[in-house]
Each structure stands twice: as C-alpha cells, then as structure tokens.
Structure 1
C-alpha cells in the first residue's frame, strides 16, 4: 500500500534483494497513481487503486501511504486475514499494537492482533545503536540531536532541495518554499544552504511531534518508561541518510573498548570509529546500505557514566523499508504467521 511512494519503492527493492518468499503480490496506490507500471522480479505489474477487497487472500500487507490511509485500510486488511506491517505513525503508540525493531524487541511480535507498527526512522537507528549498551551496561538517560535528510519529508521535498540548490545561494534564500518544515504549516523555509530546527508540528510542550515520537517510541521499544529521553530534531540539506549525535548515561561505567566491542557485536550495526584515520559514518556513504553505522564514540569529560556517539543510517532503507521487511521475515522465522 503506497507502492509508488519513496518508501514503497524501497520496500519493493528490499523484497527483491532479500528474495522474500512471494507467491502473489499486489501493488496498491491511490486512484491517481493507479495504472502505473511496476517491475518486480522480471514481471511488470499494474498498480491498482486500493479498495477493501484488495486484501482478499493476502498474508502480509505493507503500508506506507500515510497515517490516514492506514487508519482507513488497515482494519479492512486485518478483517480479511492479512497481517499489516504499518510504516506510519497511526498505530505506534496504541498499547495493543507492537512497535518493533527486530534487532531490539523481536519477541513483541507474538503479541500482535493483526497490526504491527514500524517505528519512526530516527528512532529505529538510535535504538539499534543503543540496545547493546542497554543489554551490557544498563541505560538510564538519552539526549539526542538529529540531522535529518529531506527524503524523510517525501519526494516533493527532495525536488525542492534540488531546485533551490541549482538556483544558487541568493536565489535559494529568496525562493518560495512550499514543503518544509511542514507542508501544511503557515510558513515555509528554503532548505538549500539552510538548517531548519523543526520537523513536524509543535506540541503544546514546545517539542515537535517528531521529537515526541522519538521520546515515546524509544521507551515503548525498550520496555522502559523510566528511561530519560530528550530529543531535538533538525532538517538538513541532505537528500538521504539521517545522522544523530547521541549522549547516553549508563548504569555501569564501562571502558571505551568495552562499549566499542558491544556495539561492534550488535546485529545490523557497523562500527566505524577511527579518529586517527578520519573514519566515521556519514550519510553520503550510508546511502543505500542496510546497516546502522556508529562512530565518534568518546567518554564524557565530566561524567564517568556519560558517553557520546555519532549514529548514521539510510532513513529510507533501515529507517523504513528494510525494517518492515525484517518484521515480516521474523514473522515467518518465528512461525507467527
């Protein structure tokens, strides 16, 4: 569902790349996009307009077409016997819906009642990097600042960045932006040559909804409501790949070598940490890759239990499409489907 969108296209590529077991596949879209041709494993399919009957005979339905679409069609899919893996925020904080990153809380899948939520992209990469620290040393506090790519706001935001960049600094500065920070907002700002400290709308507490997603989702995924989490989410003129500066406080006081060993041994995580050789993760090198990359690991200068990390991942791959496919793979592996 949402087959022609940026995440939908990535989902299709991941299904092909990982040779996911498929007997029949349907590509569902809005009425406007119906009829578009989609190639999958050497066969050309026609995108179909989604209706409730589209989910007849379907085992797994991947949703990536926006929260309102998920709210409308996910229950219809479940009624027809499908398990929905939803990549929107529609059900993430529903206490009856598992919110899953397979490397962190795969066991939660057994509690599903037809719908499983894929977390926010920035949350996914952070919990992948921090879960080994929680398991080995205990985790009490997280402070994260994100540096997020425009692809998280969709294809139109990518196009706007490219147009503004091509126009040059002076013209971009005075351009009529339409997409960021939020398409529905009263004001819009250019993203080329700029940094926008707002992702999604503001809540009454002064945090944006993106920041509250990171805070609340992290606690739910890690099963720890007492965990202290604070977030500042920022949009950068980067096409793909989110970066995060993360400060953590651990319950133990491990050495840097112990922390690096724990991270290096975590599934789906690659350690890239060699300051002497200027080796550290960057979004340009992470684009198109599956893993979460971690570097710039260093001890806080004042708190022996405090440590700083730099975390990078492709927000359309692990942050969305890949995690959804991994959830479905885990359903099969654990014989939950």
Structure 2
C-alpha cells in the first residue's frame, strides 16, 4: 500500500503549511465597533413598542393597580438598584414618567404648604377639596370633632377616653361570657346575636336536610328508665293522690234500676221512681208506714204483756185457793 494512501483508500487531505493571517488593523476595528455597540445598548432608552400580552390568567395576587408598573420602573431607573424579588415590568415611556413625576412633586409641594398653613385653595371651591383633589385631613378631623361626628377610622385606643364618660352596662356575648362595656357595644352584640340566630333559622328553614331531633343520646349511656316494672304501680298511686287532692264534690245520684235485670223479685220488693221528687214522696210514704207499723206492733205487744200479767195473777189466786182447800181437808 502506498504511503500517501489512507487506510480506507480515501486520499489524505492536503496539508497546507500556509495559514491565513489576520491583520492587526482588522482586529482593532472589530473591537472598537463591538465596544461602541455595547455602549450604545447601555445608554440608549428602551423602545416603546407594545408588549405582547401574557397568556397566563391574572389572579388577585398578581394583579396590579393602574400605573403601578410605571411608578416602579421610575423608582428603579432613579435609584439604579433593582430588588431581587421584583419582576421585569418592561419599558416605560420617558414622557409619561416625567409627567407623573412632575405631578407628584407638585402635589407633595402643595401638601407641604398645607401642613405649614401657607396653602390657600382657589376661590369657588370647597374648603376641604380643590380641583387638584387635595384634602386637608387635619382640618377635616378638627371640624368632625367640633361637630361631634366620629370618623370611621376611629380605633379602640382613640375611643378609650370617651368610653369613660359613657355609662357602662353588663351584657352577655355570643359565647355566654359576661362582659362590661358601653351601651353601644351591648347593642352591637345584641344585633350580632340576632343576626346569627336569624341566619341559623333561615338555613334550617330553607335547607333540604331535615332538622335533627331534639332528644339524641350521644356516647355510652345506660338507659335506666327503659324498663321499669314499678311504673304501673306508680301511675296508679299518682292517680289516687290526684283524686285525694281534689276538692270534695258530691257524687252523682245513681240509683238501682230494676228494669235492667230479668229475674223474679221478692214479695217485699219495691221499685222506686226515677224522678227525684217522686222518689222523695215515696220514701216519705214508706217512712210513715214504717212508723205506723212499729206503733201498732208496740201497742199489740203491750196488750199481750198485760194479758200475760192478768193470767199470772189469776193463776196465783187459783193456787192460793187450792192450797187453802188442801189445808182445810187435812184438818
């Protein structure tokens, strides 16, 4: 195999001993052009092209107020220090940034003059607010205090001094704890409890789920009253005690009715009338008959006893005469 041929039969590339030389003038021109481009990129303002909207949805945590990004970009451009946790907000127009900065400086100057007392609002405007939207908060607070109005930003520490002059009352909060405070706090707590009760009532009324029963046993419970053999006896004793404790009332007049029995009555049976007056007359008549019968029996018994006495007296006389005749016969 020839020495110039390669292992696989392909010809070897020709090695050229000559290399292309770069002149120093061309490298110097390239470095100067590159440095000028880098300097122009760092000093030139950003383009004001419209940024493409993001496809990701905005939520309440990433949403920003209007002009917030512009003000943040202005702060970054002035300070030259960008916090590491902030995002890239893009380019801001220098004209808009300059105009916003000028307005904020003017408003800060007006507020400083207002705090010193040198600010005079333009004529034909309100005392509190001019056409620039400025509000003198110190004057507003003083006027509210003079009029007796309480501002909405009043805190518990501010209202501590006025609470001493108000009357303190005792009330119960929503957790059943006894509290002591002003009448306004008690009324507010009462309205809160009424609102909670009304909301619970509406939820129970409009809910499809039925209300739970009032008597529910939770946990392990021994039902001692499930079987009570003495319950009927206790109920009877309670009924007797209830009858005993009642006021004394005469019982109903219920008399024997002979027509309700199918049997042969005795000889002395007497069927009284169902009428009260008729029954009374019949009872009086029977009482008279009884008295008359007893009187007749008594008279008859007296005559009988008298007759017996007469017979005994006659027998004594007869026995005496017989004894006399017997003695005479012995003589």
Task: Say yes or no: TM over 0.5.
Answer: no
**RCO (CA 8 Å, sep 6+): is it higher in 1 or 2?**
1
More strand by share: 1
Q: What TM-score, normalized to structure 1?
A: 0.17
Greater C-alpha radius of gyration:
2
